[in-house]
Structure 1
Amino acid sequence: MNLLQKTILVVFFATLVSGCSSFQHRKQMSSFNAAYSSGDYQAALESVSFKSSADEPVDTEGHLLELLHQGELYRLTGQYEEAAKAFDLAEEGMKFLDTEGVVEEAAEGFVAVMVNDSEADYEALMSEAVLVNTYKGLAFLASGNNEYARIEFNRANDRTRRAVEYFQKEIASQQAALEEESEDEESNAAIVSSSLESEGLQAAVAENYGAPSGWSVFSEFIVPSSTYLHGIYFLANATTGGDYERAATSLKRVAEMNAESDVLKEDARLAQALASGSQRLTDLGPQVWVVYENGLGPVLEESRFDVPLLFFHENQQAPAYFGIALPKYANRSAVPGNMGIMVDDAEVMETELIADMGTVIRTEMKERFPSVLARAVTSAVIKAVLQNEASERFGMVGQLGAAALTAVTTQADLRGWQAMPDHWQAARIDRPESGKLTLLDHQGGVLGTVEVPERPFTLVYVKRPTELAPATVITMDLRGEAQAQIARFPELQVQEPAQVSSIQ
């Protein structure tokens, strides 16, 4: 059996596996979303559970997506220790946190190019990694473990700081590899490189997909909700001037990203005043932050279209059109309006927007897009060459077979963490004398009443995926000196933990 026959056979079997895994993933996410959107978190947990042997370590790379979903579901059901364990395992499975073996990397690269990206283990977004540390910090805070909460909020902030450097290294590494392999002008790498630089390909991408330069993005990579929570955490836990400076830096950065928010401006002003000494903590009075995590975050859809690839024919470049498939983010639904906060039957205050997840992801995708496009074009080039060779050696049968394999394997990787929200909102108020807050929905209806213990700083964290789902309300001591209270509104009862063993 010659090399071409072996390659076609490998691709054929990989295609069978690809079809099965893609179907299983779609089925799993369909079950998850149906349960999650209605607030049935136990059923949602069951949909992302998996079996593993007690004698063997968990395959964290292979089960990364399940672990991400499990972690957040455990947190929303008050199982903070289980949430931290799931998020710990998820961090282990994030490839850019580890040094991947050369053989493993090469093998995954081959499968991704010959089939599609979805056949490689899922590689988390940097924004997902930042949220993992933030959610883990909240889980530790809710369990009264302030020492570990501090570590996680710092990790989230440090990961944000290092994100731009990571993106630059990823692009530079890929570019260097292409340049090295392009020395042979008729090599596949040379075809990829010249195609990527061609005006025809760029025009086709802009017309069918949208030019990244026109996307609505932040001026720099940031997950504002994570940076905001880092800021108010250190404001509440400051023991030195350096802690106040950390709080001031984070809150100022978020405020600059959303200049229309009075809440963000006031928080940044307070942190700066405490850092400079113009405001004394003893004169501040107990403060309550309400953070509202709302809706369903963006999901990936596939965009398929033809692009011109520049092949060599008789020492000249000649364009030929072949199909590529790119992932494209689409918004999902959010609960309309803002959340109202009523104190002792007085005037109602409303939460204000911090940031939306779509802008966060588009900011990251803009940085990653050159790599995504390069992989798609590389895959198209290799499949086109394979198709041509199959036609020359096996005639019409070979051409039709290779074309069928190409059509089936040209797919975008549509996997992602679907428990992220559409956006975050926030408000800050003085703790009411009665110690009670009444939360109102976007129509002014009462969701429920929150009891705020007498302490200097309190975080009321609310998450509601859809209007059909109750709001999960976790009331935390921002200094982590007591365990949180958890409730679901409008059910007005404490959520019983869903006993689903998924990560043993």
Structure 2
Amino acid sequence: MLEKISRQTRKKDRLLYTLEAGRVAQIMGYYGDSEKWFQQAADLYEKNDEAARIRVSSLSQSVTAIAINDNFIHYQAQPYERILSYTFQALNYLAQGDIVGAAVEFRRVDYTQRQQELDHQKQITKAEEKNKGKDSVGINEYEGYFSGLNSAAALVRSGIQNAYSYYLAAAFWEGQGLYNDALVDYKQALQILPDSDFIKADVQRASHKLNGQVNKNGLLIIALEQGFVPTKEPVRIPIPTDQGIVIINFPVYQINRLSDPLPMQVKVNKDEITTQPLINVGAIAAHALKEQLSSIIARQIARTAAKYTIQREVNESLGLLGSYAIQLYNFVSEQADLRSWMTLPANSQVARLELAAGTYEVGLSLSGSHANLVVPISVQGVTLLRVIDLGGRLITQTMPINGGS
């Protein structure tokens, strides 16, 4: 499978295939290979950022997209995809025992989450000022077609930040004895999920440690990544134009495709706990897509006008046969852009337990799937037990973080 993905990396979807390869390799336990794939993705982010700054590449692709469809634009990862790729890269380093590499990636996770959200808010403010008092592309006229997307998007506050990445970063800093950094990231996670008593307790614990109230216990943190994110679906929308009613395909996420998180039961000695949801990736993806609808609709309208001009010219020069040919081309080329990073988890959950230093047998149970393993707990350290649920199979990975010992 990875060889097939590798053959696709020279095309316009190179970044997307690279992300898929990194995630697949990681699930299979090939952490070194996954690291290389995610590093390629990071390099492509920088290349795309530079292209966006000089506008040359973006402009030429936009012209092509208007003439054909959005699938001809080079794939640009959504901010939430970029953040999760950095998070997975940090886990690659942890799995290989590279604490320094993991620290660099978690710093990148923190910076990217905050910076992307700030940039996004600036863009929203700028767009609101520009379009104050008007609906520039008439998006309100089509709200009914996006009811499923809107319902999915409403489940989260942001299409960028996620509490799971902040939480893993916080756990890493706590394991390293960097309690101020841990407290900052736990608070960031709490800001995203303000009603979470679970994270409130983590904030309190990190605050106590920062104030010198540190005991010899360690933490077992179970991080569950469950299933796969839903895919985009096309919806056909009639749009009135000067040339009459035109049926156009749009990408959407439907709320009925979002699966509810299934909690995992964790048993350690006499203690039994369940995982708590921190991120619904499908809802974040829907939120991000909803915020792009205006620009997608604007491109579709511009594309329709361009295609009509071409068709009129063909009619005049080639007659009926040419007219049929261009109509067929328009029908085939008018496809919704359904591309997305499909091997992302549907959701991620976390559980944690404070334990004295030692070795413990941990039992995991989830919807008929079971796993038992032995994990070490160090003095003042953190042991991260990562679990990937593939629907009937639990893949486990134990990563000690002992810098605070």
Same fold flag (TM > 0.5): yes
Write out per-residue CA displacement over residues 99-134 of structure 1, whole angstroms, 9 at most, x where no aligned residue: 356543333222211111112221111111001111
- Secondary structure of the 2:6 match is coil
Q: CA deviation at 1:169?
A: 6.8
Q: How does 1:187-206 map to 2 (within 5 A)?
A: 197=136, 199=138, 202-203=140-141, 205-206=142-143
Give 2:171's aligned residue: 232
Choose the corresponding residue for 1:209, options 131, 140, 146: 146
Letter in structure 1 aligned against 2:5: V
Give 1:144's aligned residue: 97
Query: 2: distance between equivalents of 1:174 and 1:107?
Result: 23
Task: Pick the structure with greater CA Rg.
Answer: 1
| TM-align CA RMSD | 3.2
Q: CA deviation at 1:155?
A: 0.8
Q: How does 1:393-412 map to 2 (within 5 A)?
A: 393-412=317-336
Letter in structure 2 aligned against 1:63: R
- Secondary structure of the 1:210 match is helix
* Contact 1:459/1:475 (8 A) holds in 2: yes
Letter in structure 1 aligned against 2:383: T
Distance 1:164-1:383 versus aligned 2 partners, 3 A rule: farther
Matched, 1:91 2:49: no
Matched, 1:280 2:233: no
Q: Figure out how many residues of one structure are paired with residues of the other and give that number.
A: 397
Distance 1:445-1:89 versus aligned 2 partners, 3 A rule: closer
- Secondary structure of the 2:339 match is coil
Give the alignment's TM-score, normalised by structure 2. 0.86
Query: 2: distance between equivalents of 1:160 and 1:222?
Result: 6
Give 1:324's aligned residue: 248
* Contact 2:232/2:251 (8 A) holds in 1: yes
Distance 1:140-1:479 versus aligned 2 partners, 3 A rule: farther
Query: 2: distance between equivalents of 1:474 and 1:383?
Result: 53
* Contact 1:157/1:227 (8 A) holds in 2: yes
Give 1:304's aligned residue: 236
Query: 1: distance between equivalents of 2:382 and 2:124?
Result: 43
Query: 2: distance between equivalents of 1:117 and 1:479?
Result: 47
Give 2:387's aligned residue: 462
* Contact 2:163/2:190 (8 A) holds in 1: no
Query: 2: distance between equivalents of 1:146 and 1:280?
Result: 25
Query: 2: distance between equivalents of 1:256 and 1:174?
Result: 25
Choose the corresponding residue for 1:270, options 200, 205, 209: 205
Choose the corresponding residue for 2:156, options 205, 208, 218: 218
* Contact 1:334/1:466 (8 A) holds in 2: no
Matched, 1:472 2:395: yes
Using the TM superposition, name which of 71-80 and 134-143 deviates more.
71-80
Query: 1: distance between equivalents of 2:305 and 2:125?
Result: 21
Matched, 1:119 2:43: no
Give 2:109's aligned residue: 156
Query: 1: distance between equivalents of 2:147 and 2:353?
Result: 42
Q: How does 1:363-378 map to 2 (within 5 A)?
A: 363-378=287-302
Q: How does 1:45-84 map to 2 (within 5 A)?
A: 45-50=2-7, 59=10, 62-84=13-35
What are structure 1's unaligned runs of at least 5 residues?
Answer: 1-43, 52-57, 180-194, 312-318, 482-504
Matched, 1:379 2:303: yes
Distance 1:453-1:234 versus aligned 2 partners, 3 A rule: closer
Q: CA deviation at 1:302?
A: 1.1
* Contact 1:333/1:466 (8 A) holds in 2: no
Query: 2: distance between equivalents of 1:326 and 1:262?
Result: 39
Letter in structure 1 aligned against 2:268: V
Query: 1: distance between equivalents of 2:26 and 2:16?
Result: 16
* Contact 1:438/1:446 (8 A) holds in 2: no
Distance 1:174-1:116 versus aligned 2 partners, 3 A rule: farther
* Contact 1:233/1:478 (8 A) holds in 2: yes
Q: CA deviation at 1:333?
A: 7.2
Q: CA deviation at 1:392?
A: 4.0
Give the alignment's TM-score, normalised by structure 1. 0.71
Query: 2: distance between equivalents of 1:71 and 1:445?
Result: 25
Write out per-residue CA displacement over residues 362-403 of structure 1, whole angstroms, 9 at most, x where no aligned residue: 232233332222222222221123223333444433432222
Query: 1: distance between equivalents of 2:240 and 2:331?
Result: 17
* Contact 1:255/1:264 (8 A) holds in 2: yes
Give 2:267's aligned residue: 342
Give 2:60's aligned residue: 107
Query: 2: distance between equivalents of 1:211 and 1:333?
Result: 10
Q: CA deviation at 1:432?
A: 6.0
What are structure 2's unaligned runs of at least 5 residues?
Answer: none
Give 1:426's aligned residue: 350
Question: Sequence identity of aligned pairs in percent?
Answer: 23
Distance 1:434-1:160 versus aligned 2 partners, 3 A rule: closer
Q: CA deviation at 1:173?
A: 9.5
Using the TM superposition, name which of 102-111 and 118-127 deviates more.
102-111
Q: CA deviation at 1:288?
A: 0.8
Distance 1:166-1:413 versus aligned 2 partners, 3 A rule: farther
